[in-house]
Structure 1
Amino acid sequence: MTDRITKTCSQSRVIKTSRVFPLDTNNHGTLFGGKLMSMIDDVASISASRHARCEIVTASTDSVDFLFPIQKDHSVCLESYVTWVGKSSMEVFVKVISENLMTGERQLAATSFLTFVALSKEGKALTVPYVKPVSEEEIMMNESAPMRADNRKKRREHSKTLGEKINVNVPWG
C-alpha cells in the first residue's frame, strides 16, 4: 500500500485573464505566439506547484496547438490544471480562450500540454500526489493521458538519439 495522497484536478486549477495590447502583437495585429507560449508556461507552472507543493521544473512543452489567432484588444483567458501524474512528473493541460470584449464572442484559441517534475531542495525528483479527475473534461484528459505519456517518452528517446548525432562544435560566424 502507498501513502500517496490524492488531489482533485480543481485543486491545481489556475485561471488568468489578460488584455491583448498592441505591444503584445505581431505584424498581423494578433498575439505573438511566443508571448502566448510564455503565458502558457506561467499558468501551467502554477498548477504544477499547487499540485506538488514543492519546487517544480518544466520538463517538456509537449504541444501547443494554435487554433485561432487572438486579436489586439481582445482578452485572452488561460485555464490550466494537472490532468495526470507519474511518480514525480505531472501533465498539465492549458486551454486558451479568446474573447472579443466588444461583442462577448469567445472561442477556443489554443490548447497545450506540458510536463513538470517535482524536485526537492537538493534537486532530486519527489513523488507527487495522485490526481482524481471529477468533471467530464477532466476524466477525458486523464483517460487519454497514458497515450500522451507514451508519445512523450518516444519523442524524448528520439531527441536523445538526435542529440548524440548533432555537432555542437560548429564555429560561430
Structure 2
Amino acid sequence: MEGKKASESFTIMNELVLPNDTNVFGNLMGGRLMYWMDIAAAIASGKHCNAPCMTASVDNLSFKNPIKLGNTVHIEAKVSRAFNTSMEVHLKVWGEDHLHQYRYESNEAYYTFVALDPNTNPRPVPALIPETEDEVSLYEGALRRRQLRLILAGKMKPHDANELKEFLFK
C-alpha cells in the first residue's frame, strides 16, 4: 500500500455558534465543539485511507479560550500519523469574532480513528508521509502519544512503552 502525504487529509470545517449551541454564559458548549471536531477528524481520516472510519479515542482536548454566541468556529484537522489500522488526527480550533474583527485560538486535540472494511472489521491504512517541520514534529510525537493512550486504556504495560520512557527519562 502506497503512503499518502499528511496534506492530502487536510480538512477545514466552519460552524456558526447559535443559541442552541451555547451554555448559560453564552459560550459554545464543549460537547458541541467535540461533536464538530469528531466530524472534521472523521473526514480527515477518511480522506487518508479512503474508507469509513470510527472514533477510537479522544485525548488532550485543551480549552484555551471560549467561543461566544454569534462567533464562527474554524476547525482544521489533519492526520498526524498512521499506524496499522488506526490514525491519529491533530485538530486545531479558532474562534472568530466578526463584530470586533479578530480571530483567536480556542482548542487543540488529538483524535484516534480506526479504518473499517465492509464488515466493520479494522483494515490496514496507508503510511503517512510528513513533509513540513510541523508535520514531522507531530509525526514523531504521535508514537509517544499512542503509547500513553494504550497505557491509560490498559492495553500496554508502562515498562513496554520504550519511546515514551526514553522521552520522559532523558
TM over 0.5: yes
| C-alpha distance in structure 2 between counterparts of 1:143 and 1:17, whole Å | 29
CA distance in 2, matches of 1:121, 1:55: 9
Unpaired segments of 5 or more residues in structure 2? 156-170
35, 51, 54: which one pairs with 1:54?
51
Q: 2:82 aligns to what?
A: 85
Shift in Å, 1:40: 0.6
SS in 2 for 1:157: coil
CA displacement at 1:62 relative to structure 2: 2.1
Larger Rg: 1
The residue type equivalent to 2:143 in the other structure is P
Shift of 1:135: 2.2
Report matched runs for 1:70-149 at 5 Å: 70-149=67-146
Where 2:153 maps in the other structure, the secondary structure is: helix
Question: 1:15 maps to which residue?
Answer: 12
Q: Quote how far apart the aligned CAs of 1:73 are.
A: 1.2
Q: Could you state the TM-score of these two structures normalised by the residue count of structure 1? A: 0.86
| Correspondence 1:39 to 2:36 | yes
Query: Which residue identity does 1:128 align to in structure 2?
Result: V
Post-superposition CA distance 1:116-138 (Å, at most 9, x none): 11111112221101111122222
RMSD of equivalent CA atoms:
1.2
Identity, % of aligned pairs?
33
Give the unaligned 5+ runs of structure 1: 159-173
Q: CA deviation at 1:157?
A: 0.4
Structure 1 segments of 4+ aligned residues over 6 angstroms from their partners: none
| Equivalent-residue separation in structure 1 for 2:11 and 2:101 (angstroms) | 22
Count of matched residue positions in the alignment of Structure 1 and Structure 2: 155
SS in 2 for 1:125: coil
Aligned-partner Cα distance in 2 for 1:107–1:96: 9
Partners of 1:102 and 1:121 lie apart in 2 by 47
3-state SS, counterpart of residue 143 of structure 1: helix
